[in-house]
Amino acid sequence: MNEPVLAPSLLASDHAALGEGAAAVAKLGLKWMHLDMMDGHFVPNLSFGPETLAALRRDGSKLFFDTHLMLSEPHKFVDAFARAGADRITIHIEPSYDHGAALDAIRAHGCRAGIALNPGTPIGSIEPFLGKVDLVLVMTVQPGFGGQAFREDVLPKIAQVDRWRSERRLDLRIEVDGGIELASAALCRSKGADTFVAGTSFFASKDRAAFAASFASL
């Protein structure tokens, strides 16, 4: 099983001080930061754009930018996010577009590629694309807003991706996002997850160092 990775979500930080939020993640020795891009169409919320990534890079951030495109037309923005400094670009299976071509475009830019699905989406929908990605993101809440409660009904999906990974000897990570704190992360870890997006629970923690350390021992 892959080593656990904690990826704090910048969406839950102070939006008037995003650079400080990124610096707080790096100061703890964490390597990843999750960036949620929302367009107000695919999900009922607006968040950041490519310029936010570019500004964080100009500010000196060397974190691994785990970029999650919750967009109705993500394929139209691959170039912009890649140029802005994304290290991985994850796209959703639900909108109608050429998913395979979008994943190829992500890789052509030298970025890592991921595929995501929502709680109500059949797990089989992502199966044709497993050979084109190095990360599967299983949403553990319906995306759009932070602070939601973790949904245990998604655990079988995590387990299925883990079975595919083992049976087909795939080199990919399994990421979970939504309602993630230590207890829910442990449940996901037991099913094969190795990458944990924590937003509200991380930034609201009174002891972020202890919080991060608890994930390292999952």
Residues with a known catalytic role: 36, 177
DSSP three-state, residue 130:
helix
Sign of the CA dihedral running 11, 12, 17, 21: negative
Chain centroid to CA 200? 14
Cβ neighbors of 102 (< 8 A, separation 6 or more) are: 74, 75, 78, 91
> What's the gap between Cα 6 and its chain centre?
10
What stretches of 25-63 adopt beta strand conformation (E)? 32-38
Q: How many helices (H) and strands (E) does the chain have?
A: 8, 8
